[in-house]
Amino acid sequence: MDIFARLAVAVRRENAEGDLPDFIVPLLMRVADNPADFVGREDLVTELLQRVEEYETWSEMCCEKQGFSLEDIHRTLDHLKVRY
């Protein structure tokens, strides 16, 4: 399974079983569903996958950061030039 297919699986799983909000799913799926648009930027897609898999709503609530926040995911999407 390539990185784009893995991203699609992770987005669906984290949205259905985790806390990943519905409003970010279309942006993430835009990356997962259009690999040709992101040729040469697979390293950023890998980073995005990690941030989705380790997304935590409370990631910045305590004294040390655990997991990734929506801000982290949005930052990676910005690097990929994927916006609302």
Write out pLDDT tens, residues 14-42.
999 989 999 999 999 999 999 999 999 99
The confidence band for 1, taking pLDDT boundaries of 50, 70 and 90, is confident
Please tell me whether the overall predicted TM-score, pTM, comes out greater than 0.85 for this model: yes
Distance CA 45, CA 7 (A): 8
Tell me the per-residue pLDDT of 46-67, one tens digit each, with 9 for 90 and over. 999 999 999 987 655 555 556 8
Q: Are 6 and 49 in contact (CB under 8 A)?
A: yes
CA torsion, points 82, 30, 7, 62, in degrees to nearest 10? 40
Task: Tell me which long-range contacts 22-25 makes (C-beta under 8 A, separation of at least 24).
Answer: 24/70, 24/73, 24/74
Other Cβ atoms within 10 Å of 8 Cβ, number:
17
